[in-house]
Structures are given as C-alpha cells and as structure tokens.
A and B are shown apart, each in its own frame.
Chain A
Amino acid sequence: MSRPIRIIGQTATWLGLAALVAALAQGPAFSPVADGHGELRLSMAHLAERLVPCRPLTEEERLALPPTRRVTEICERGRSPTVIELRLDGELLVRETVTAAGWHNDGRAYLVTTFAVPAGEHRLRMSLRDTPRDEGFDMEKEFTLRLESGDAALLEVGDGDVRLKAPDRH
C-alpha cells in the first residue's frame, strides 16, 4: 500500500475513534422523567413503637443490678414494623411494610422511593401505622401538592413529624 493511502487510512482510523467517542460521550439525550411530569420523593426514617412496652423495674430487680447500672425501667429491643401508605388523588402510590433496621429490629424504619407525578395540583394522603396492631393507622395526613414540570417535591416522614416540601413559587 502506498504511503499516502497508508496515511489516509491512519487518519481515518483516528477520526473514526474520535467520531465514535463524540457520538456517545455527550448524548443521545436521556430524559429521566417524562415530559410534563415532576417527581415526588418519599423519605422515611421513622422510629416505630416497641413491640413490648417498657416496664418499670421492681425494687428487687433494681437491687439485683450493679449499683452503677440501676435503671428504672427495662425495655425489650424489638420495634413494630412501620406500614406506610401513600395515595395521590385517591389512587394508591405505595403501600409498604418496612421492618425496623438492625439485627434486633430496634432501629428506625427507612424507606426512600420516588414517583413520577403529572404536573398540576394533587391531593396527597399519607397514612402510617407504627404500633403492633393489625389494622388501621396511627397517623394520617393530607397535603395539597402543586408541581410544575421538572419540579421535585419531598415528603419527609420523621419520628414524629411529617412534612411536605414542594417548590414555593408564591
């Protein structure tokens, strides 16, 4: 093969590499959320009730403990699973039973999840059960959610409080 053709071949190779890199390094574009939608994030870090309530120690039990460790009550470690339900305009978004974290299920119940929500105004209802019962809820809250396309709202469920943080344009 003659030298000019070899040089053309080599140039074409490196241009080909550059073209391949250029084609995929900055695109094609990807849309994480559909057009006309926003995102609702649910973040829960909630300490549920104990499965067995704490009870006061009797005087005999207290005296049996070392002097520096004489606490007034004793608590079993297990905590109730947390049931959380989220409805948007009456439609169920999520219903999840979250086990308390830790080897002994004595930590918080954690849940992070996201939902694509059409832009506009919505009624958001959150129901939560965190006691050792089989039916019903211990906490229910309702919010008005206003989202524009590309907005992200956060529903944060803490130990005792629930708050909705949405972009405020007013």
Chain B
Amino acid sequence: MKSDAGGTRPGPAARTLARMEGLFSRAFGGENNPFHHLGALTIFFFYVALVTGIYLFIFYRTSLEGAWESVEYLTREQWYAGGIMRSLHRYASDAAVITLGIHLVRELVRGRMKGPRWFSWITGMPLVWIVIVFGISGYWMVWDQLAQYVAVSTAQLVDWLPIFTDPMSRNFISNEAVSSRLFTLIAFIHLVGLPIVLVLGIWFHLLRIRYPRINPPRKLMLGSMAGLLALSVVFPVFSHPPADLDRVPVSLDIDWFYLAIFPLQAVTSEGVVWALGTGGTILLAILPWLPPRKREAVAEVHLPDCTGCGFCAEDCPYGAIDMVARTDGRNFELEAKVNADLCVSCGICTGSCPSSSPFRQREPLTTGIELPQFPIDRLRREIDQERGRADNSILLLGCDHGPTVDALASDDIHTLSLPCVGMTPPASIDYAMRATGYAGVVIAGCEGCDCHHRLGERWTQERIERIRQPALRKRVPRERLLSVWLKVGQEKRLASQVEAFRNTLEESRKDDGDKNPQGADAREVVQ
C-alpha cells in the first residue's frame, strides 16, 4: 500500500507482528517493550556471558585432564558461585540466540533492511555466524561427551571443505590423538579471538546508525537477569561424563540453540549443512534488493534557506547529512550536504530545520532541507485546506509506519500521513492552531523506541517538550495538542484517544464561551 508521500506502508505480516508486540507494550509500556530493544538485549546477554566467562576462566585448566575436572569442580563443589555462573553463562548465550533470531525476523518482516539500511543488514549476517561459532567453541572447552561429539562433528564439517590435506578429524580419532594443546588453542579462540571479532562485527553493524541503543533499559536488564538467574538456580547446567574417544556417546542432552546443526549433519550430511548455511546466508543477504524497487527521492538542501545551523545533521538517524564549508558565498560558515547513499527519505531533517516555518510568507514555501516528494509547501497547503472552517476541526498528523490515520478522516478531522512524524516542524503545530485555526492538533506516530526511522518519535517529543531545537513555542497551548504513540494496527485505540481529545476540546471551548482561535490570517514573517 502506498502512502501520501509515495512510500510503502506496513503489510499484513508487519501488522500482525505489531499486534502481537502490542501485548508486550501493554505490560512493559512502549519504551520498555523488549521487542523494541532486541539488538541491545542481545548485546546485554553477550555482556553477561562475558563477565561470567571471565569468572569461569579463573578456575579453568587448559589441559586434557584438567578441563573437565575444573568445570566439574565449579559445577559441583562451587555450585553457589561457579555453578550459577556456569549456568548463567550458558543461559545468557542461549537467550542471545533467541533475541538475535527475533531481531533478524523482525527487521525482515518490517522491511527495515531495504534501501540504505542494507549495510546494517549485511553486516548482521556475519554476526549470526560468529555467535554460532562462539557458542560451539564454548562447548569444546568442557571436554565431556557432548564436547567430544561437538568436536568430532565440527571436524567432520571442516573436513568437508577442501582446506586441510590432513583431515582435522584425525585429531579426534582416539584418546591418544588429543593433546592438551587443544585446550590452550580453543580457550584462546573462545576467550580472546572470537570476542574481539564479535565486538568488531557489532561495531561494523552499527557503523551507519547514529545514537545506537547499545544498552537496553534498566528494567529489561534487571528483568531478563532475574529470569536467567532463577533458571540457573532451579535448573543448573551439568556436564556429561568426561570425553572418552574409545566410546561413542549414546545419548546427549543437546543445546539446540547452538548445536542443532550437528543432529542435522548426522541425519543428512556435511554437504547439506554447508549448503543450507551458505545458501540461507546468501538468500538473506540479497533480500534488501528483492524485489528490486525504485528508491524514494532523498532529501535535498535548498541553500537560500540553509543557515548552516547543523540541526538536521544532528538529528539525522543515519548520519546522512554532513556540514561542509559554504559554497554559495553567503555569510554563513557551513551548509548541509546530503549523502544520498545513507538517506532513508524519512524527512526528519525537515522537522529539525528552523527555516521550516509555515508562517513565512513565501510562495511556494521553501525550507533549508526537504523531501522532493513531500516538500514543506505541500505540508502548509495540506494544513491550510481547512482554513476558514477549521475552528471546530482537529488536524491529525500521522506516520506511514504508525497507526493509519486515513480512516479517522471526517468533517472535523483533517488527516495527513507523513513519512515520519519527525518531519513535523514545531512551527507547523503553532501555525495550524494560530494561522489556520484548528481547534487542536494530534500527532500520532510510532510507539516509544520503535520509530520506523529510529528517532522521529523521540525528536518530536523533545521538540514539544522544548528540550530540543527547534522547540515548540511556549505560546502554543499544550492542552490543544495531543501526541499519541502507538503501533500500526492500533487504530481503534487512536480513534478513542482522538475522540476523548475532541470532547475535551469541546468542553474547554464551551467553558471559554466558544471563542474563536486568534488571528486566522495573522501570518508571521520570518526573515
């Protein structure tokens, strides 16, 4: 479905997902909904695994005999600390796979890998592999029967590739073939090599994102920790009997989050596992370009209206705007320059530009930076549609990715769906009330910490609360402004909130003697 600005609106899958996530918003509130912080939660679980892993390594012995014994000591004799740490280490790693998996599916369903976002999507692919290899290498360290099975199966997988002439499997063919050096090597890989690679991978993943959320809200950290800690106490992790390569394990309690590939390998073949792994990765990697579609026009800078203030560069969620030396000879130091490869066409920059004031008497209205498919002049014309008959009306500004506002349009509700509510210049709210004469303005955008364009809802709120420039003027009566943050599919809730707001406006108008909003044609001149 196309939006007013020509963009794509959420499809049925995204709406279903939003409906399900809405249940969690009811329990946690939008800003603390775990689904809004899946990437940050995954990193948090990595932290937990890192800290618990450091504790475990203090007692770990990197030798053939010592590996299993030291883990067993931690699990049995030091159960109150080492045992819980071990369980927490395992369970946090498993939880990371869950949040990582949901994070991937969620971004896929919401189409947030398209356009310039391809970079974060592609750099996320290696992270999945790194996390899986990280987990598998951890299982080697225990050197119990499960470790034996994992080591042998991993070696068979590697041997399938034409890398080594001397097969890796020969190192696990008998007890005599395994040396203590293996544990020094695997400890180095698990404790030093892979964590560094993972951190680098996360850095790349977040490279094109401004203000990334690395840490989840404290509420989520505490809640998830409590859940995993309770699990560690109630169902502690135990080792299998020590590895014995003269035997073959008959029954293994597998961690299916990390080790599911090995049963798959056993029932199919190494070739099938590699084909599924690489094929799946390639398929996911090309999804940003499937199906090919025309890219939306990116933001354009209009130098006569750009003062080089830098607000747009500060607010752009994808760092698509650079402030560069002035090129037009005007008496300003800098000007904005859009990097088209990074711009997602959200229009948040228009909302942050101080020149985006509909009060300006210019025809057509222009501003410092705007989307060609939804210029500021169109926004003013849309607002002005109700001029002269707006005194009982509400202007409902929606977002293409939040609750759909079109259905609420009526004689006294004028709706307009923007690419992102962050595109709303605060001056346009003032203008809608003072110049056009709307009784009230409603801003309905994506739920807290879940803006499709990452920061639109946050910047809008901060501009309204006057803690971010350009701020909403003090003179704007806040009782005539309602901001609603909901998910797509929550149109009924939006309708009821708008209805309640309309009733409140009605009552206050009666109380005020039904007086008209001031100055219907009083246009403010901004130089």
A interface, CB within 8 angstroms of B: 1, 5-6, 8-10, 12-15, 17-18, 20-22, 24-33, 35, 38-39, 41, 43, 45, 101-102, 107-108, 110-112, 149-152, 154, 156, 165, 167
The contact of B230 among A18, A31, A165, by CB within 8 Å, is A18
The residues of B that contact A6 with a CB separation of less than 8 Å are 26-29
Q: A24-B255, A25-B91, A101-B165 are in contact. List 10 more A-B contacts (CB 8 A).
A: A13-B27, A14-B223, A14-B224, A21-B94, A25-B90, A26-B237, A30-B251, A32-B250, A33-B249, A156-B173
With contacts A25-B94, A26-B255 taken as known, whether A10 is within 8 angstroms of B248 at the C-beta atoms is no
- Report how far A33 CA is from B153 CA in the complex, Å: 13
List of A residues within 8 angstroms of B247 by Cβ = 150-152, 167
Which chain B residue shows the least CB distance to A7?
Answer: B27
Given contacts A25-B94, A26-B255, contact A150 B173 (CB under 8 A): no
**B266 at interface (Cβ–Cβ under 8 A)?**
yes
Q: Which residues of B contact A165 (CB under 8 A)?
A: 174
Instruction: Tell me which residues across on chain B come within 8 A of A150, comparing CB atoms.
Output: 247-250
Interface CB pairs A-B, < 8 A, 28: A6-B29, A10-B27, A12-B27, A13-B27, A13-B28, A13-B223, A14-B226, A17-B95, A17-B224, A18-B230, A18-B231, A24-B255, A25-B91, A26-B237, A29-B254, A32-B248, A32-B250, A33-B248, A38-B248, A43-B169, A43-B173, A101-B165, A110-B166, A112-B170, A151-B246, A152-B248, A154-B174, A167-B246
- Cα–Cα distance between A106 and B26 once the two chains are bound (Å): 69
Q: How far is the CA of A151 from the CA of B250 in the complex (A)?
A: 10
Contacts of B28 in A (CB 8 A): 6, 9-10, 13
Cross-interface CB contact of A39 among B248, B256, B257, cutoff 8 Å: B248
> Would you list which residues of chain B between 196 and 220 have a CB under 8 Å from chain A?
219
For the complex, is B364 an interface residue (Cβ under 8 Å from A)? Answer: no
- Of all A-B residue pairs in the complex, the 9 with the closest CB atoms, nearest first, are A9-B27, A14-B227, A101-B165, A112-B169, A24-B256, A18-B231, A39-B248, A18-B227, A27-B253
- Label chain A's interface by main secondary structure: mixed
CB contact between B165 and one of A1, A29, A107, A152 (< 8 Å): that residue: A107
- Please determine whether A24 and B26 come into contact, CB atoms closer than 8 angstroms: no
Q: Are B223 and A10 in contact (CB under 8 A)?
A: yes
Residues of the B chain whose Cβ atoms lie less than 8 Å from the Cβ of A33 = 248-250
Tell me whether B263 and A30 are in contact (CB under 8 A).
yes
- 1/0 per position for B8-38, CB-CB distance to A under 8 A? 0000000000000001101111000010000
A79 CB, nearest partner CB in chain B, Å: 13
CB distance from B468 to the nearest CB of A (A): 29
CA distance A133 to B27 in the complex (A): 77
Question: In the complex, which of the residues B98, B248, B255 contacts A151, with contact meaning CB atoms closer than 8 Å?
Answer: B248
User: In the docked arrangement, what's the CA distance between A156 and B174, Å?
Assistant: 10
Q: Please state if A25 and B257 are interface contacts (CB–CB under 8 Å).
A: yes
Q: Which residues of A contact B1 (CB under 8 A)?
A: none
